[in-house]
Amino acid sequence: MLTALKRIVQEVNQTPVLDDALNCLADRLKEALEVDSCSIYLADYEQQHFLLFATEGLAKSAVGQVKIGFSEGLVGLTAQREEPINISDAHHHPRFKHYPEVKEDNYHAFLGAPIIHQRKVLGVLTLQQQQKRRFSEDEEAFLVTLAMQLAVEIANAKARGSINLLQENIPKDWQKAVKGVPGSSGLAIGFGFIQNLMVNIRNHLPKRSNHTQQEIEHYRQAVKKTQEDMAILSDRVQGEVPDDVQAIFQLYHHLLDANSLGRDVEKEIKKGWDAPTSLKMVIESFIRQFQSMNDAYMRERAVDIEDMGNRVLANIIGISANEPFTREPHDQTILIAEEVTAVMLAEFPSEKLVGIISIRGSNNSHAAIMARAMGVPAVMGLDNVPIVMLRDKEILLDGYTGDVIVSPNGTIRHEFDQLILEEKLLSERIHSEDTLPALTKDNCTMSLLVNSGLSMETEVSTNPYSDGVGLFRTEIPFMMRQRFPTEQEQVELYKGLLESEPDKQFTMRTLDVGGDKPLAYFPIVEENPFLGWRGIRLTLDHPEIFLVQIRAMLRASFDLDNLSIMLPMITSVSEVSEAKRLIRQAFNEVEDEAEEKCAKLVMPQIGVMLEVPAVLYQLPQLAKIVDFFSVGSNDLTQYLLAVDRNNARVAGLYDSYHPAVLSALHSIVKTSDTLQVPVTVCGELAGEPGGVVLLVAMGYRKLSMNTHNLLKVKWIIRNIYQNEAEQLLAKVVTLNNPEDVRSEVNLFLEATGLGGLVRAGC
């Protein structure tokens, strides 16, 4: 069975477009299980019905015609029950409904399996047989396994827009809505720009074409051009490269020969595919053949074949191989990347950047935090969407909901323009009160600090309306380089910051790399990076890095008294003791230098981040050895809920409004008050409208957030009564689910006139 399953899945996966793949599946499945019919119905949620999409055994004329209502027939029943339905005589089942067009009169046995992706029924896979019998448990398990695998393919195809439920001739630029995870709030209209996109057959979207002769001609010209390029390259390296490299040129030459690759590509073109798609299909099949060879040398040639395919494709498209699509970004660019990185954002001309789409990542991955720090709307985790689909298209991006609309029609674009205008008006109102104190309506004073360090811009300036820096993330300067920064480079950076506002306190966090913040020059490969060698764990194992950084911070603080040092990812008291021992050692080392320079050097305050749940139970012990606590609610949420903050698939489960997280936060502030240890929240919750209200209610008086959110947070504080926030808190802690908490908090914000901060529009 397993071999049959693997074979079918492999064959289906190799078929580039979904309708062909589903037809292939129906055919192979019918044959493998020796049944009389196998069919696939796909759900159309707009029309509330299932459409017969592919069949082997039912009337082909019914494909695309037969529609079964969501609550009708055995197909509807399978979907409603969300489990396999196995019936020996379907005709006698009370839910049986006769559809004459499918011509199933002779079939009695019925087995249906729902096709479910992320809790949503996408379709139903059915087997039917003339003989009255129950399908075996093996057959049932086989069908369920296949349906699960199929679900992913269907979801991907849906996201690509390649399932149009058999509606042909859809215009090239039809509007398409896709959904990701909200990364940074705000709305944006711009044009998709993909940085460093290389021509790659893997990215190419299959397309049909009826212009067979023209496609063949394109293909032949591209091959000729590639052969010429190869001949030039081969001549250039003649005698300079080993024989095996020269042999690769021969392999290219041989493959490009009309009788080899050409024959197969032209065969595909004649089946109705365009030249790039035909090339993709043939090259991918070659790659698979080479990858499955026993000989290691031949296996490695798969890479060369792909390279050659890319070169031919580039020539078909009319651009030279191995060069990115070097276009000038549009004045209103939505930057798109598989994974948006700090470096990418730092390099991109900020005046042109209106939005960000990161195909990977989730709402608390560092790319999203960076986008928020820059005040640029962002959507993350568009996992199912092929990146090229967004290239050069006009895009509407809603960072509140995660909606992305590609090639919008006039009406929706107009609505968006309106919402953007309303957002601008709200922002102007918020800015008109920028100098007023952060005081609730019933006079509770809050101290607002900023998180900085994630973008180069915020590194050099604090926020004039803040009381200081509550979290300076030191990772980015490490990530922007090709090697660890020297002590002197760090001194200059930190000094610039401390001196920029000597009267404000700067809390610098020691290096917190690992997780989703890698150092290119110090790669860490781990199965579970967020549970691995991160933050203080890594730096305590490498005192040479830790000591250099601490010395740099201390040297930068000569003649100043505004440095605090914060330790990330603390799990045990012993880590703090060890870190403090090293800090003391570094202090002794720089003390001499300070004396020589007659500079004042003071021992900074030392605090820890509360982000690993274990430390919540050790606050009294920690209180004895640290000066302050700072709650990293991003990681605390991740670790309390056991949900990867970087994984879009579980983004729905990552929620700081989870009652357990709120309880933990509440208990931290109460215990810290009792222990008389100052406590700040520096995770994203502190810059989020509802989060601010709940944190004020719990008793937090110091919040640290990205600079872009500071005035918004002040606006919220100035518009609420602390006692009303406390009533809200009392209510939400009795709720069971994060969703219930969110809707209660949103109701509160709406009632307080703050709704425009959590959704588009006033």
The yes or no reply on residue 633 touching ligand PEP (CB under 6 A) is yes
The yes or no reply on residue 84 touching Mg ion (CB under 5 A) is no
Instruction: For tokens 């604090």, name the residue.
Output: 462
- 682 catalytically annotated: yes
Kindly state the smallest distance separating residue 717's Cβ from ligand PEP, in Å: 20
Of 108, 117, 682, 708, the catalytic one is 682
Of 366, 658, 666, 708, the catalytic one is 366
The yes or no reply on residue 634 touching ligand PEP (CB under 6 A) is yes
- Torsion angle, alpha carbons of 81, 84, 88, 90, to 10: 50
Contact 472, 453 (CB under 8 A): yes
- Torsion angle, alpha carbons of 516, 517, 520, 524, to 10: -60
Q: Which does 473 bind (CB under 5 to 8 A by kind): Mg ion, ligand PEP, none?
A: ligand PEP
The yes or no reply on residue 73 touching ligand PEP (CB under 6 A) is no
The residue from 632, 687, 689, 699 that contacts Mg ion (CB under 5 A) is 632
Q: How many CB atoms lie within 10 A of CB 671?
A: 17
- 762 catalytically annotated: no
> Cα 568 vs. chain centroid, distance in angstroms?
24
Toward ligand PEP, which CB reaches closer, 176 or 534? 534
SS3 assignment, position 273: strand
The yes or no reply on residue 644 touching ligand PEP (CB under 6 A) is no
Please identify, among the stretches 78-86, 201-209, 272-280, 627-635, the one whose residues bind ligand PEP according to the rule CB under 6 A. 627-635
Please identify, among the stretches 155-163, 215-223, 630-638, 754-762, the one whose residues bind ligand PEP according to the rule CB under 6 A. 630-638
The yes or no reply on residue 116 touching ligand PEP (CB under 6 A) is no
The yes or no reply on residue 656 touching ligand PEP (CB under 6 A) is no
Structure-token pair, residue 100: 């004459």
What is d(CA 753, CA 421) in angstroms, rounded to the nearest whole number?
18
The yes or no reply on residue 682 touching ligand PEP (CB under 6 A) is yes
What is d(CA 571, CA 567) in angstroms, rounded to the nearest whole number?
11
Please identify, among the stretches 214-222, 475-483, 634-642, 706-714, the one whose residues bind Mg ion according to the rule CB under 5 A. 634-642
Phi, psi of 572 (to 5 degrees): -135, 155
Subset of residues 606 to 625 that bind Mg ion, contact rule: CB under 5 A: 611
- Torsion angle, alpha carbons of 107, 108, 111, 112, to 10: 70
Kindly state the smallest distance separating residue 627's Cβ from ligand PEP, in Å: 18
x/- map, 600-619, ligand PEP, by CB under 6 A: -----------x--------
The yes or no reply on residue 635 touching ligand PEP (CB under 6 A) is yes
Kindly state the smallest distance separating residue 607's Cβ from ligand PEP, in Å: 13
What is d(CA 4, CA 706) in angstroms, rounded to the nearest whole number?
54
Contact 55, 77 (CB under 8 A): no
Please identify, among the stretches 37-45, 231-239, 426-434, 628-636, the one whose residues bind ligand PEP according to the rule CB under 6 A. 628-636
The yes or no reply on residue 514 touching Mg ion (CB under 5 A) is no
Subset of residues 533 to 592 that bind ligand PEP, contact rule: CB under 6 A: none
Kindly state the smallest distance separating residue 634's Cβ from ligand PEP, in Å: 3
The yes or no reply on residue 683 touching ligand PEP (CB under 6 A) is yes
Helical residues (DSSP H) of 676-751, grouped into ranges: 689-698, 710-718, 722-732, 738-751
Residue 479 neighbours by CB under 8 Å, 6+ apart: 342, 343, 513, 517, 518, 519, 520
The yes or no reply on residue 635 touching Mg ion (CB under 5 A) is yes
Kindly state the smallest distance separating residue 685's Cβ from ligand PEP, in Å: 8
The yes or no reply on residue 687 touching ligand PEP (CB under 6 A) is no
Toward ligand PEP, which CB reaches closer, 17 or 540? 540
Contact 486, 449 (CB under 8 A): no
Toward ligand PEP, which CB reaches closer, 283 or 345? 345
> Cα 534 vs. chain centroid, distance in angstroms?
20
Kindly state the smallest distance separating residue 611's Cβ from ligand PEP, in Å: 5
Q: Lay out the sheet containing 176-179: strands in order across.
A: 176-179, 403-406, 394-398, 187-194, 333-337, 353-358, 378-380, 181-184
Toward Mg ion, which CB reaches closer, 173 or 526? 526
Q: What is the CA radius of gyration of the chain?
A: 30
Kindly state the smallest distance separating residue 268's Cβ from Mg ion, in Å: 50
The yes or no reply on residue 408 touching ligand PEP (CB under 6 A) is no
x/- map, 358-387, ligand PEP, by CB under 6 A: -----------x------------------
Residue 576 neighbours by CB under 8 Å, 6+ apart: 567, 570, 608, 622, 625, 626
The yes or no reply on residue 632 touching ligand PEP (CB under 6 A) is yes
Q: Lay out the sheet containing 37-44: strands in order across.
A: 67-69, 49-56, 37-44, 120-129, 109-117, 85-87
Subset of residues 176 to 195 that bind ligand PEP, contact rule: CB under 6 A: none
What is d(CA 246, CA 60) in angstroms, rounded to the nearest whole number?
52
Kindly state the smallest distance separating residue 475's Cβ from ligand PEP, in Å: 8
SS3 assignment, position 328: coil
Kindly state the smallest distance separating residue 655's Cβ from ligand PEP, in Å: 14
Residue 195 neighbours by CB under 8 Å, 6+ apart: 324, 335, 336, 337, 344, 348
Subset of residues 468 to 487 that bind Mg ion, contact rule: CB under 5 A: none
The residue from 108, 225, 360, 473 that contacts ligand PEP (CB under 6 A) is 473
What is d(CA 91, CA 341) in angstroms, rounded to the nearest whole number?
58
What is d(CA 569, CA 546) in angstroms, rounded to the nearest whole number?
14
Subset of residues 488 to 517 that bind ligand PEP, contact rule: CB under 6 A: 512
Kindly state the smallest distance separating residue 366's Cβ from ligand PEP, in Å: 7
Contact 29, 146 (CB under 8 A): yes
Kindly state the smallest distance separating residue 463's Cβ from ligand PEP, in Å: 17
β 187-194/394-398 pair status: antiparallel
Please identify, among the stretches 36-44, 56-64, 143-151, 631-639, the one whose residues bind Mg ion according to the rule CB under 5 A. 631-639
What is d(CA 504, CA 527) in angstroms, rounded to the nearest whole number?
41
Query: Contact residues for Mg ion (CB under 5 A)?
Result: 611, 632, 635
Query: Contact residues for ligand PEP (CB under 6 A)?
Result: 369, 471, 473, 512, 611, 632-635, 682-683
Tell me the catalytic residues. 366, 682
